[in-house]
């Protein structure tokens, strides 16, 4: 641990710990943070207060002449002024100056040295410091000595509210970003995921400017053959769980980039959902939640400090953040060659999409731009049960450019490297949410295993009459009836009606992209 002078930002606090060791952060957390405890496994338990998920409605980006034409303005990227940003930043710095002790985490985003960003996080809670120590790529002592000026700075004053009377503020929560100054300010929320996704938003803006595709996906590689794959999907669709595969090497669980040379992980850690975590079905994640990890908003036994992963009394969005090397089969450095399989994970709340389908290039673009899934309870404030949504590129809340920008980059790379594309439903089967059942993890694992083995590339398929994609009819270790979704419903007419309803939602949603998608991609949508 070393100290650092941050007066260039207006921070006058003398006691600032730069990249402290986890043991020191533990000590500080137990001494100074009444909301922290130590779990039986050794992980640090922390609580984020009122906000237990992201607050996308409170995200703002400074509208500036240098980047204004690049940004996809709308519900995802709401503009703010440089004056409002300056007010929020001053408010954050004023609050940080009232703290007796601050933390400065200097680390990297991106395992590929030619594309990595140097990130600086300034915060006051030990929990936030340990979280970003885990989630960013930790520099060696030599790299830290040569760190220099960062490429981006995050000011986390989340314990202090935004001023609701400031122009453009919608609540006491504010997550604002200036691309020109490369600075982010957090007020009114102590949910650590805001920092992680702030870094992702930065990468989502700066990487495409270099012809690099930034992706909301997990990635694994076969250690023997070198065959890699990426899995797209929003939180709750299974990216982290399915990427924790002991038979493959883990590149990363959530955020990656695809360059002319291959893929690399943006992060230095994993941020796994802990709700109903089971050591038998998710052993890799379970064993990673040990000393050095952070567990958010979980309930534990007051005597034994054993965590009850089934207790949702605070939130269903309980989480665990741990360094990627805690995963026994992680590949370090987290890089691999071009993926041979691109997998779109969707959590279908309607229960009509088949467990696995093969997509044509045009269908791949249609479903990538659509990004159909269901918001999973607890991931965002106010979401208490799954609900159908369309999130472009399977990462709409974190996009900076128009979805077409990322779709064009993906199409270019898939075509150049001949990747197979699959749509995998990890949602409901036998009926929609409320009547059907969630797809068994064992079924999805068998499907993913077959994709990785190349078994499904030549498997028997049948064309779906409504959605048009090729539905895989046979897969090792999966009952054929499960693969034919209509057969899992007790009422075939109800299935047909629900399928048409979902197809109409697809078509209606895609109207907003019709002017940029092109005729071939439009024709790849459902037939209604």
Q: What is the set of active-site residues?
A: 54, 197, 216, 235, 239-240, 254, 319
End-to-end CA distance of the chain: 62
DSSP bridge pairs for 50: none
Whole-angstrom Cα distance, residue 187 to residue 199?
16
Asked if 395 and 234 touch (Cβ cutoff 8 Å), the reply is yes
Residue with tokens 């939602």: 505
DSSP H helices, 97-236, are 126-135, 141-145, 193-206
Residue with tokens 């070198």: 226
Secondary structure in 3-state letters for 477-520: CECHHHHCHHHHCCCHHHHHHHHHHHHHHHHHHHHHHHHHHCHH
DSSP bridge pairs for 422: 343, 358
Residue in 260, 157, 164, 513 with CA at minimum distance from that of residue 370: 513
Give SS3 for 465.
coil
Residue in 25, 14, 18 with CA at minimum distance from that of residue 294: 25
Asked if 195 and 186 touch (Cβ cutoff 8 Å), the reply is yes
Interacting residues of 374 by C-beta distance below 8 A, sequence separation 6+:
236, 347, 348, 349, 386, 387, 388, 389, 427, 433
DSSP bridge pairs for 453: none
**Alpha carbon of 496 to those of 183, 506, 528: distances in Å?**
50, 15, 12
Residue in 509, 439, 502 with CA at minimum distance from that of residue 466: 502
Residue in 259, 206, 461 with CA at minimum distance from that of residue 355: 461
Supply the DSSP string of 312-328, one letter for each residue.
-SS-S--EEEEEGGGST
Interacting residues of 299 by C-beta distance below 8 A, sequence separation 6+:
307, 308, 311, 313, 314
Residue with tokens 């109800």: 494
């Amino acid at each position: 641990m070393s100290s650092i002078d941050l007066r260039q930002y207006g921070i006058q606090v003398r006691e600032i710990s730069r990249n402290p060791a986890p043991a020191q952060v533990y000590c500080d957390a137990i001494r100074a943070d009444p909301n922290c405890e130590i779990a039986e496994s050794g992980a640090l338990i922390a609580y984020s207060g009122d906000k237990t998920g992201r607050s996308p409605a409170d995200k703002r980006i400074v509208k500036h002449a240098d980047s204004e034409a690049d940004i996809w303005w709308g519900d995802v990227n709401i503009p703010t002024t440089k004056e409002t940003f300056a007010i929020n930043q001053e408010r954050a710095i004023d609050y940080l100056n009232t703290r007796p002790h601050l933390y400065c985490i200097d680390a990297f985003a991106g395992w590929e040295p030619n594309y990595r960003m140097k990130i600086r996080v300034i915060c006051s809670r030990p929990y936030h410091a340990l979280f970003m120590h885990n989630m960013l790529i930790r520099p060696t002592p030599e790299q830290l000595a040569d760190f220099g000026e960062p490429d981006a700075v995050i000011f986390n004053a989340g314990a202090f509210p935004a001023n609701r009377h400031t122009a453009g503020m919608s609540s006491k929560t504010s997550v604002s970003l200036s691309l020109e100054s490369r600075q982010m300010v957090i007020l009114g929320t102590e949910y650590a995921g805001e920092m992680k996704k702030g870094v992702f938003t930065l990468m989502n803006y700066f990487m495409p400017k270099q012809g690099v595709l930034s992706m909301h996906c997990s990635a694994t590689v076969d250690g023997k053959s070198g065959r890699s794959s990426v899995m797209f999907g929003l939180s709750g669709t299974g990216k982290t769980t399915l990427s924790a595969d002991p038979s493959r090497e883990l590149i990363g669980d959530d955020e990656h980039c695809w360059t002319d040379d291959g893929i690399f992980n943006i992060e230095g850690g994993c941020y796994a959902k802990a709700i109903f975590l089971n050591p038998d079905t998710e052993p890799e994640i379970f064993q990673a939640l040990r000393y050095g990890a952070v567990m958010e908003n979980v309930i534990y036994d007051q005597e034994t400090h054993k965590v009850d992963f089934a207790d949702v009394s605070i939130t269903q969005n309980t989480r665990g953040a741990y360094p990627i090397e805690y995963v026994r089969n992680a590949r370090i450095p987290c890089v691999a060659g071009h993926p041979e399989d691109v997998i779109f994970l969707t959590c279908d709340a309607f229960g009509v999409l088949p467990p696995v389908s093969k997509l044509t290039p045009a269908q791949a673009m249609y479903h990538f731009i659509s990004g159909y899934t269901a918001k999973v309870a607890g991931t965002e404030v106010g979401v208490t049960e799954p609900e159908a949504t369309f999130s472009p590129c399977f990462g709409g809340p974190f996009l900076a450019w128009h979805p077409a920008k990322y779709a064009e980059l993906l199409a270019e790379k898939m075509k150049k490297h001949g990747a197979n594309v699959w749509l995998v439903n990890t949602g409901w089967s036998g009926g929609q949410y409320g009547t059907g059942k969630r797809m068994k993890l064992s079924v999805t694992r068998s499907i993913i295993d077959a994709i990785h083995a190349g078994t499904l590339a030549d498997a028997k398929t049948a064309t779906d009459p409504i959605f048009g994609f090729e539905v895989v009819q046979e897969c090792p270790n999966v009952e054929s009836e499960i693969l034919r979704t209509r057969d899992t419903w007790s009422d075939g007419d109800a299935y047909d009606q629900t399928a048409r309803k979902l197809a109409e939602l697809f078509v209606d949603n895609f109207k907003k992209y019709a002017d940029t998608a092109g005729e071939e991609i439009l024709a790849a949508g459902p037939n209604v």
